[in-house]
Structure 1
Amino acid sequence: MKKYNYPIIQTLLDTDAYKLHMQQAVFFCYKNVHVVAELICRGPNVLGNYSNILLDQINMMESLSLTHEEYLYMNSFPFFKKEYLHWLKNFRYNITQVKVNNYNGQLHIRITGLWKEVILWEVPILSLISEIFHKNHNPEITPKIAINYLNLKLKKFFYSTKGLDLSRLKIIDFGTRRRFSYDVQYSIIKRLKETFPFLIGSSNYHISRILKLSPVGTQAHEWFQAHQQISSNLRYSQSLALKIWLCQYNNYLSIALTDCITMDSFLRDFDLFLSKSYQGIRHDSGDPIQWAEKALKHYKRLGIDPSTKTLLFSDNLNFKKIITLYKKFQSKINVMFGIGTQLTCDIPNVKPLNIVIKLVKCNGKPVAKISDSPGKKFCLDKKFMESLFQTFNLPFNGSK
C-alpha cells in the first residue's frame, strides 16, 4: 500500500468555491450553529483499509493556513468581506473534529463541531480518499496518461460539433471532490485552458488562482439542510435559506441549488421576488431535460424572460451530455455546465468513487436531503424524513 511522507492537501484554497462562499455566510449569520456530517458511500464501501493513511493526511492539515498572497487574492473579490477574511487568515483545521474508523473494511467518518469550521472539511477529505484509493489501485496512471485521454475526448468533441454554433457554450471544472489526484486535476484544467475556449472557470480556488481562471460556485445542499433546523418553521426553511443568501451576497453568487427537497417543492418557494433576484438555478439530480423544462415554464408563468436567466447543469455530466443539453436549451435560456468526475477522474480502467459527505444533524436535530434521484436521498431519522415529506406535500415510501 502506497505511503505518503508529504501532505496531499497543501493549501486551504484547494477546495470548492461554494465551501468558502457558504463559510462566509455562516460566519456572519450562524456563528454558533453546531453540526454533524458523515461520509456516505453510494457504492460498495471498500475503503476501510485506507483509514490510517487518511488519518495521517488529515493530521497534516492541522498546519495549513492562508498565505499572505492567498489573502490578497481573496481580498480582490468584491463579495468577500474583510472581517471574514481576517478570521479565515487565522483559521486552522481542528483535527479533533474528525473521527475516522475502519469497521470490517468499511470506512466511517463523522465530523462534529461549529458549522463555520466543519464546513471546510468535506472537500479535502473526499479528494484525499479518492487520491489515496486510486493511486493504490492504479499506480501506473500519471498526469500525462490523463492528458492523452483528454486529448482524444477533445478531438471527438470538436469533430462531433462541427457546424454547431458553440458561441454560447460555457463549461466549468467541478472536479475537485472525486478527482484521481491533484496533479491530474491541475494538468487537465491547464490543458483545457490552453486548448478549449469554452472553459470559463473552476470551482477550485487554488487552481483558479494559479491558472488565472474565474472561481465559480454558490451554495450546496448543506445550506438548505441546516436551515431545516435553523428555521422556526420547517415549511419556510427553504425560503429562509434563499433569502438569507441574498442578504449576504446581494447581486453576487446568485445561482440557487434546487433539489435539496425536490425541484417541485423548490419552485413552489421560488416566488416572483426570488426568481427575479437570483441569476438562475442549478441542476444536481433527476432528469435534466424535465428539470429544465420545468424551469422554463416557471419563469414564463411569472412573466420573466428566460433569456435573462441561467440554468447551470452539474449532475454527472460528460461532454456528450453537455452537447445534448446545449443543443436543446441554448436558444431558450442561458446555459452553463459544471463537469466534475467525468473530467478529473475519467481515465481508462479507472472506476471513480461515488462518495459524499453530508450533514446529518444541525443543533443536535436531524436534517435530510431528498433530491430528485432516489439514490441520493438521505436522512438518519425516519420520523424527521416523514415529517419533511408531509410538510412539503411529497409522497413518502418509508425508505432511507
Structure 2
Amino acid sequence: MIISSLLDTDLYKFTMMQVVLHYFPAANVEYKFRCRTPNVNLVPYIDEIRSEVHKLCKLRFSEGDLDYLRRMRFIKGDFIDFLALFHLNEKYISITPSAKGNGEIEIDIQGPWLHTILFEIPVLAIVNEVYFRNTQQQPDYSEGRERLRDKIQLLGARPEFADCKIADYGTRRRFSGRWHEEVILTLKDGLRDQFTGTSNVFYAMKHGLTPLGTMAHEYLQACQALGPRLRDSQIFGFEMWAKEYRGDLGIALSDVYGMQAFLRDFDMYFCKLFDGARHDSGDPFDWGERLLAHYEANRCDPRTKVLVFSDALDIPKVLQLYERFRGRCKLAFGVGTNLTNDLGYNPLQIVIKMVKCNGQPVAKLSDSPGKNMCEDKAYLAYLRQVFGIDQPEEEAAGK
C-alpha cells in the first residue's frame, strides 16, 4: 500500500481546504493530470494505479492524526470535526488510457472542491511509485545515498553559508515513500539546523519536524470563478486568505498571473500584511530583485520579509540564490524532486492541475510558459487581456 495515511500530503492542502470549508463549501471543480515527460508509457500500470487509489479512498483520519492537526495554531475546531468524518470518494476520480493511444493516461477528478482537494498529492505520489517500482525493480539506493551525501556536504562546505537552510518539498514526485522517508531522516541528521522541515504532514508528525506550506496555485485559480470579477480575483484571493488566517500563514504565491500582474495587485497593504512571497516560475534572480525593489517602493524594509524559492531547485542553485540575496531579506528554500527522486533515473514531470471551477475554465499564466495548463485558448486570451499580459513567443508560435 503506497499511501497509508491521509496526512501523507502537503500542508498547504489542509490550509487551503480549511478556507474552502469556511468560504467556498459549494464550489465544484475539475482537475486533470498531465505527464510532461515525453515518451513515457503509463498504460501498462493503469490497473495498479487504480488499485492504489482504491486503497487511498478507504483511509480515514485517525484520532492521532486529528490531535496532531488540532495542535497547529491556525487549524480550527470545526475543520477538525469535518476531517473526522472525511474520506476520499472514488466516484470523483477516473483513470483511463488516453484516446490518443500514445501511452498517456487520463486522470480526471471532478466534484465538490471540499471533497476532491486532497486527491492531488497522493495520486501523483502513487503514479510515481507505481512507475518506478515497475521500471526500476532493483533501485540503486547506494547511488541515491551518495548523491544525497554530496548535497549535504555542499551545503556545509562554506562556513559563511552556515545560515543557508533548506526544506523538503518533494512529496508529489518522490521515487517512493520509503526513499522519501530515508531522505528526510538523512537530511535531519546531516544538516541539523540547516534543515528547516518538510511540506509532508505525515513525516513532520512522525519525525518531529516543522510542517511547511501556505497556498498553492489552485486556490488563486479557483478565485477566478469565485470572486466578484476576474480582474480582482488575485486581490480577492489574498483578502480571503487574510480574513481566514488573520496574519498567520503569510506567504503569498506570486506566479498565477506572472510577476508583473502580481506586483500590481500586491500593493502597500499586502506588502505590510503578508510575511513574504513564494517564487515558483521564471528567473528566480530577476524575481527576487523585482520583489525587493517593490518592497522598498512600498515603504517596507525588505530585511523583514521572507523570499521563498521553490522552483526546480538543486543545491548549487540554492547556494547561488543565497549568495545573491543574503542579508537583504529573509530566505527560505524548498527543494523537491532533486532531493526525493535523484537516484540516477529520469524523474517524471507529472502534475495535476485545476482546469475548471463551477463550470468555468480557470488557469494560471506562469512566468514559465511550459507550466501553463488550460485547454480553452479563448479563455487564456481573455485572461491575458484582463490582466494586461503579453502572449509568450513560444505560445504565439504554437509550440
Q: TM-score, normalised by structure 2?
A: 0.95
Partner of 2:4: 10
Partner of 1:112: 110
Aligned residues: 390
Deviation at 1:387, TM superposition (A): 0.7
What is the alpha-carbon distance in structure 2 between the residues aligned to residue 163 and residue 125 of structure 1?
Answer: 40
Q: Give the SS at the match of 2:97.
A: strand
Distance change >3 Å, CA 144–CA 330, structure 1 → 2 = same
Q: Are residues 1:182 and 2:180 paired?
A: no
Partner of 1:3: none
Determine if contact 1:146/1:184 at 8 Å carries over to the other structure.
no
More deviation, 56-65/334-343: 56-65
Give per-residue Cα distances to partners, 1:38-95, cap 9 Å, x unaligned.
Answer: 0022222422221111000001112101111111111101100010111111101101
Determine if contact 1:147/1:187 at 8 Å carries over to the other structure.
no
Which of 239, 246, 263 is the equivalent residue of 1:243? 239
What is the alpha-carbon distance in structure 2 between the residues aligned to residue 144 and residue 78 of structure 1?
Answer: 40
Q: Give the SS at the match of 2:29.
A: strand
Q: Are residues 1:345 and 2:347 paired?
A: no
Which of 378, 395, 400 is the equivalent residue of 2:390? 395
Partner of 1:265: 261
Q: Give the SS at the match of 1:395.
A: coil
Determine if contact 1:146/1:188 at 8 Å carries over to the other structure.
no
What is the alpha-carbon distance in structure 2 between the residues aligned to residue 53 and residue 235 of structure 1?
Answer: 43
What is the alpha-carbon distance in structure 1 between the residues aligned to residue 184 and residue 8 of structure 2?
Answer: 14
Partner of 2:58: 63
Aligned ranges for residues 308-327 of structure 1 at < 5 Å?
308-327=304-323
Aligned ranges for residues 1-400 of structure 1 at < 5 Å?
7-44=1-38, 45-103=40-98, 104=101, 105-141=103-139, 145-159=143-157, 162-167=158-163, 169-197=164-192, 198-348=194-344, 350-396=345-391, 398=396, 399=398
Q: Give the SS at the match of 1:46.
A: coil
Q: TM-score, normalised by structure 1?
A: 0.95
What is the alpha-carbon distance in structure 2 between the residues aligned to residue 230 and residue 109 of structure 1?
Answer: 24
RMSD between superposed Cα atoms in Å: 1.3
What is the alpha-carbon distance in structure 2 between the residues aligned to residue 40 and residue 363 of structure 1?
Answer: 21
Distance change >3 Å, CA 200–CA 72, structure 1 → 2 = same
Q: Give the SS at the match of 1:338.
A: strand
The letter for the 2-side match of 1:288 is P
5+ residue gaps, structure 2: none
The letter for the 2-side match of 1:373 is S
5+ residue gaps, structure 1: 1-6
Determine if contact 2:35/2:104 at 8 Å carries over to the other structure.
no
What is the alpha-carbon distance in structure 1 between the residues aligned to residue 159 and residue 3 of structure 2?
Answer: 42
Give per-residue Cα distances to partners, 1:238-280, cap 9 Å, x unaligned.
Answer: 0000110011111211101100110110110001111111000
Determine if contact 2:156/2:162 at 8 Å carries over to the other structure.
no
